[in-house]
Amino acid sequence: MASPDIHNGVLVANTITTMTVDLFNNQISVISRGHSGEEIWVTIDGSSPTVNGDEVYMTTGVVVIPTRYSTTTVVKLLSTSAVAFQVKGEYVPDQIVDIG
């Protein structure tokens, strides 16, 4: 199994941060490493996240998002405050992923 593709950083308040996970993956994990309650809004479909938006994932801790077995996934993050984060793309074998 390949090592995960991991990105760490600090979000700038009210600014979208974009990164590309370059690894064959079937899930993306986004971890908020800030204080309790700091929200991170996430998209992986190329669209831009909005606070409280539709079709946007949100986490104050950890969110694991299934993907469509992709070799490249564009992840976009947004927060209303400066918050530390980690994004990890990885392939998890024998996982049943329901992506609708």
Tens of pLDDT, residues 11-70: 999 999 999 988 778 889 999 998 777 999 999 998 999 999 999 999 999 999 988 777
Mean local confidence (pLDDT), 62-85: 90
Q: 96 falls in which pLDDT band (50, 70, 90)? A: low
pLDDT at 22: 81
List of domains in the chain? 5-90 (2.60.120.1300)
CA–CA dist 21, 60 (Å, integer): 21
- Give the helix, strand, coil percentages of the chain, each rounded to 5: 0, 55, 45
Output the CA–CA distances (angstroms, integers) from residue 91 to 1, 30, 74, 81, 94, in the order listed. 8, 15, 16, 30, 10
The DSSP call for residue 65 is E
pLDDT at 15: 97
Mean local confidence (pLDDT), 62-89: 90
